Each structure stands twice: as C-alpha cells, then as structure tokens.
Amino acid sequence: MTVATTKPEGHRPLAEVDPEIAELIRKEERAESDTIRLIASENYVSRAVLEATGSVLTNKYSEGYPQKRYYEGQQQIDVVEELARGRMKQVFGADHVNVQPYSGSPANLAVYLAFVKPGETIMGLGLPAGGHLTHGWTVSITGKFFTSVPYGVRADDHRIDMDQVRELAQKHRPKLIWCGTTAYPRTIDFPAFRAIADEVGAILAADIAHIAGLVAGGAHPSPIGIADVVTMTTHKTFRGPRGAAILCKSEHAAAIDRAVFPGLQGGPHNHTTAAIAVAAKEAMEPSFKQYAARVVENARVLGEALVAKGFRLITGGTDNHLLLVDMTPKNIGGKPYAKALDRAGLVGNYNAIPNDPRKPMDPSGIRIGTPSISSRGMGPKEMERIAAWMAEVADHPQDEARLARIAGEVKELCQSFPAPGILS
C-alpha cells in the first residue's frame, strides 16, 4: 500500500507556501527583538493575543450582534463577542461597549454617523497642535463632510487653550466636540471639556486611542462617565490586537451600534474580537497596573534625561507615554534625525511641533514613547542610557560607524529584556 507523502490542500506551512513572506516576518521578528522601539503608538502583544489573532475565527462571517446574526453557526462567536464586551465594560467601567470597529478611524466615523449630519459643526484639536486627522482636519473626510472648527494650544506653553475652546464653542455652537490627541504629552482635562460641551449643548466625544492602556491601568484620568462616548484603539498602550472599541453611556448604545453595523461595516473580524477579549483579561491583572505606571514613569525619566542633554521638549515634559521633541536646538531636522536613530537601532518617528515652520514631511520634531520598552521591563536606568544614545546620534547623525556601534549596543541591551510574544 502506497502512503501519500504530500500534505492535504491548505495544510502546508507558510514557509513552504510563501517563503518570501515567511522570511519577511522572520526579519520583522528579529527587528522587533533587537531594536529599541520608541514609536508612541507601537507596543508588544502577548503570545496569547497573537494566538487568538491567528486563530480559525478568521474563517467566520458574523454580520449583526450576539443573538441577532444574519448567519448560522455563531454558537462560539456570540460567546467570544459577549466576553470581549463584558470584559471591556469591567476594565473601563462603561455602560455599553461595541468591539466591532475595524480600527480607530472607523470608530470615530461611527460617532459622526450616530450624532452629526453632513455640514453640521464639529470641533477638535487641530492636527498641527497634536490632534488626529479624524477630528475634523481638512484632508480627512471628517473635515470635508462636516464644518470643522479646530482649536489649538497656547503659544507660550503649548498646552490646550481651554479659553479658546470655550470661546469657539460659544461662537460656533458645535454639535460634537472631540477631546483627544495623537501627539500631546499632557493630561487631558475631561471635566473642563464636559463643562464647555454642556454650555453649548454639544455631544462630548473622548478619543483615548493613545492613552487607553494608561486609563485602564489607572495611570491617566478616565473620561468614562464624563464624555458621552469614548473611542479607543485596542493596540497602542492597551497591548491588544489592531482593532478598536467604542464605549458610551447607555442612552447612546442603540445609536452607536446602528452606526457601526449596518451604518459603516459588515461582518466583524472575529479573530480580532477574540484577541480584544484576551487583552481585556490581561488588563485585569495587577501586573497591568504596574506596567501602566512604568510607562508614565519611564517617559518622565527619559524626558528629564533628554533635557539634561540639551534637547527641547514641547510643554517641557510629559504626563503620559509620549514625548514631543523639538530638534531645532540640535541643528537637525526631525526627519534626518529619525532616520539616523533608526540606523542606530532606536526606532521613532519624525513629527511636526506646534506652529512648526517646516513642512509636514520634513518637520522640526520627533515623537517618541515608552510603551514598547516598558512592556519589555526596561526602567529608569535604561532610560538614561537611551537618552545618552539619542544625544550621541544627534551630535553625529552621519557617522555611520558610530551609528552601527550604537545599534550593536542596543541589541546587546535588548537581549537582557526579551520582547513579549516573540519566541527567540
């Protein structure tokens, strides 16, 4: 009897089916293990989150909500989504949670669809001041379909100008006010925004995409119960999969759910929903609070070390996970500096600063953050060393031998702090 030696269709491993992609993934694993990742919106997920993301749940199509699907065979899927929603409600103390948005931008679009009609007025922090595209910036659909009135930061200290927010709100009477940022290193005063929204009868939406993990871990004030609706991504500081969630007061639950489905999208990504459930369970562990506190402490220490080495920080420091650094005193633009850092094994991103005189693709600053290195267990001692490397790169951005030496030292340090979720 002849025994078949070929694998059944669909059972061949990735390395055999597509060695090119398999090799790129392997190289990315090595890069994430051997470099210090300072991008504020990046992090490491656990092996458990990775396993859920890569599970057979990706095979299922599930339009609708638990117990109200348009497809049969949802016995496991309904439980998965209910677990994700229930755990997220517990972690954040929310009345209602929708875990189906594909990412942060669609989650924000769902808020518009639920509360605002095309042409009506909305307000959000302007992109050049540290806001997000979807808060009404001109190149975004949100700035094209709605009348957007951006607010900014004060010229002297680069803090959100709450006097300007109130003045603009009273003048323009927006239907929706966003409080949330993407490159702002300070605590957001949610109660102050709530007071202004109440004065003008606006819906208050808090976008905590960047700080969700800090809120969950008690390292940043929470907007839950203050804002009418809260949007978040489930990656970044929350250490979950690339997805999103919308948390809201009970009176807005039906409007939010209708906006997500059928308003904006069809079937949810069930493998992502499962991974959100896993991440939420991990966020309930005491170690998550320790991690969140470490993120903030590391950012503070790193900022102080950079200032001591002649760097200029926007707002003078940080209250959260990120630092916005003006490279002007170092006589180098943000873009060439970010690229030099990358060659030295220190991965960040160039970023505009408030009132930046340079172009967006060649700005004055860089944005760095501490979530990834905090997840690896690095602390104040390592922050001091990172600051020293960053200063050396700023002084010698084209000394390739020096950058290569630093990259080697970075790799050596990383070996003492294994990257979560990545099997060496």
State the catalytic residue, choosing from 34, 60, 61, 309.
61
Token digits of residue 235: 């990656």
3-state secondary structure of 397: coil
Helix, strand, coil percentages (3-state) for the chain, rounded to 5, are 50, 15, 35
Active-site residue, 61 included = yes
Of 207, 132, 193, 191, nearest to 161 by C-alpha is 193
Q: Which residues of 49-80 are buried (b: 16+ CB within 10 A; e: fewer)?
A: bbebbeeebeebebebbbeebeeeebeebbeb
Q: Which of 231, 233, 273, 318 is catalytic?
A: 233
Tell me if 313 is assigned to a ligand binding site.
no
Are 215 and 187 in contact by the 8 Å Cβ rule? The answer is no
Distance CA 156, CA 36 (A): 32
Instruction: Looking at 233-285, list the stretches that DSSP marks H as alpha helix, in order from N- to C-terminal side.
Output: 253-258, 270-283
Q: Is 323 annotated as a binding residue?
A: no
Pick the catalytic residue from 242, 309, 312, 411. 242
132 is known to lie in a ligand binding site: yes
249 is catalytic: no
Q: Of 42, 51, 63, 78, which residue is the catalytic one?
A: 63
Q: Is 158 annotated as a binding residue?
A: no
Contact 49, 42 (CB under 8 A): no
- Strand ranges in 275-348 using DSSP code E only, listed in sequence order: 312-313, 322-326, 346-347
Sign of the dihedral through C-alpha 371, 373, 378, 380: negative
Residue 236 annotated as catalytic: yes
Which residue is associated with the tokens 């409080």?
A: 179
Of 298, 335, 423, whose CA–CA distance to 40 is shortest? 298
Q: Is 350 exposed, middle or buried (0-12, 13-18, 19+ CB in 10 A)?
A: buried
Q: Considering only CA atoms, which of 58, 36, 123 is closest in space to residue 267? A: 58
C-alpha span between 127 and 62 (Å, rounded): 36
Is residue 143 within 8 A of residue 136, CB to CB? The reply is: yes
Helix (H/G/I), strand (E/B), else coil: 366: strand
Q: Decide: helix, strand or coil at residue 304.
A: helix
133 is in an annotated binding site: yes
The span from the first CA to the last CA of the chain, in angstroms, equals: 41
Tokens 């078949």, located at residue: 4
3 state SS of 196: helix
Residue numbers in the known binding site for (6S)-5,6,7,8-tetrahydrofolate are: 127, 131-133, 251
Positions marked active-site: 61, 63, 207, 233, 236, 242
Tell me the binding residues. Answer: 127, 131-133, 251
